[in-house]
Amino acid sequence: MSPQSNGSEPRSPLTLALFGPPGSGKGTQAAFLVEQLKIAQVSTGELFRQEVRRGTRLGRQAKEYIDRGELVPDEITMAMFRERLAKSDCAAGVLLDGFPRTAAQAEALAAFLRGLDRQMDRVIYIKVPQDVLVSRLSGRLTCPECGTTYHPELAPPRRAGLCDRDGGRLVQRDDDAAETALRRINVYKEQTASVVDYYRNLGLVAEVDGLGPIEDVRGRTLATVSQSRVG
């Protein structure tokens, strides 16, 4: 049950968000959740990477920031997000992965959702200690086609170097290089950690221990969703 719903009102489409520092497992868990809940995954990082690959103006603007491990400015991010949410697959519900990342994005999102007669239903915060983040990011392999992530030791693909889903050739993201990854973790602490407090004050945050096998984290994550109105 959503904290904002008494069960008798008509239900607006589900809106969930996954929070956690870079490497905490958001993308990994998002893939499971959207399959289970039949809602759309909206990953702003993945959207930016697609724009970079296509060589669009937005991609060129975003790349400067991504390469430095910094956040893309809020106006650019919000414009891209609004456009994504207008797509038909978002009508049934969305799981936000890596968004919002600043207080201004959280405020803009709240206003935007209000305009659509929607609201944030639950924020799932995946907690992982910093030393684990660094080792996960330094080994992360990503499929450039679909964004699925792997790790040679922690989450190996069935065939070395190839994506299980579409056979895409796995790559290391440039911004996963040690120095940039550390910068991103610091940017998370400086600009994004406080957004969790914003949602905590609204009574929306469920914390999940992100350590341990992916399947265990998956079970814990799903459990938090069934405590919300989808359960």
SS3 164: coil
Q: Is 28 annotated as a binding residue?
A: yes
Task: Give CA–CA dist 206/115, Å, rounded.
Answer: 25
Instruction: Choose between 103 and 154: whose C-beta lies nearer to ligand ADP.
Output: 154
Q: Any idea how long the chain is?
A: 231
Nearest distance, CB of residue 136 and ligand ADP, angstroms? 3
DSSP 109-163: HHHHHHHTT----EEEEEE--HHHHHHHHHH-EE-TTT--EEBTTTB--SSTTB-
84 is in an annotated binding site: no
The nearer residue to ligand ADP, 100 or 168, going by C-beta atoms, is 100
Q: Taking the CB of residue 40, how many other CB atoms lie within 10 A of it?
A: 19
Q: Residue 155 burial by CB count (10 A; 0-12/13-18/19+): exposed, middle or buried?
A: middle
The Cα–Cα gap between 231 and 226 comes to 4
Q: Is 90 annotated as a binding residue?
A: no
> Which CB atom, from 79 or from 91, has the smaller least distance to ligand ADP?
79
Our CA angle for 210, 214, 220, nearest 5°, is 55
Of 34, 31, 58, 35, the residue nearest 47 (C-alpha): 58
Is 184 annotated to bind ligand?
A: yes
**Least distance between ligand ADP and beta carbon 53 (Å):** 13
Residues near ligand ADP (CB under 6 A) are 20, 22-28, 44-45, 48, 65-66, 69-72, 77, 98-101, 105, 136, 140, 149-151, 154-155, 175, 184, 214, 217
Instruction: Give least dist CB 211 to ligand ADP, A.
Output: 7
User: What's the closest the beta carbon of residue 73 comes to ligand ADP, in angstroms?
Assistant: 7
- Token pair in block for residue 45: 């990082």
Minimum distance of ligand ADP from residue 171's CB (angstroms): 12
27 is in an annotated binding site: yes
**By C-beta, is 155 or 162 nearer to ligand ADP?**
155
Token pair recorded at residue 185: 């973790």
Catalytic residue set: 26, 101, 140, 173, 184
Residue among 1 and 75 whose Cβ is closer to ligand ADP:
75
Q: Does residue 143 have a known ligand-binding role? A: yes
Written in H, E and C, the secondary structure of 188-225 is: HHHHHHHHHHHHHHCCCEEEEECCCCHHHHHHHHHHHH
> From the annotation, which residues make up the binding site?
23-28, 44, 49, 70-72, 98-101, 105, 140, 143, 146, 149-150, 163, 166, 173, 184, 212
> From the annotation, which residues make up the binding site for AMP?
44, 49, 70-72, 98-101, 105, 173, 184
> From the annotation, which residues make up the binding site for Zn(2+)?
143, 146, 163, 166
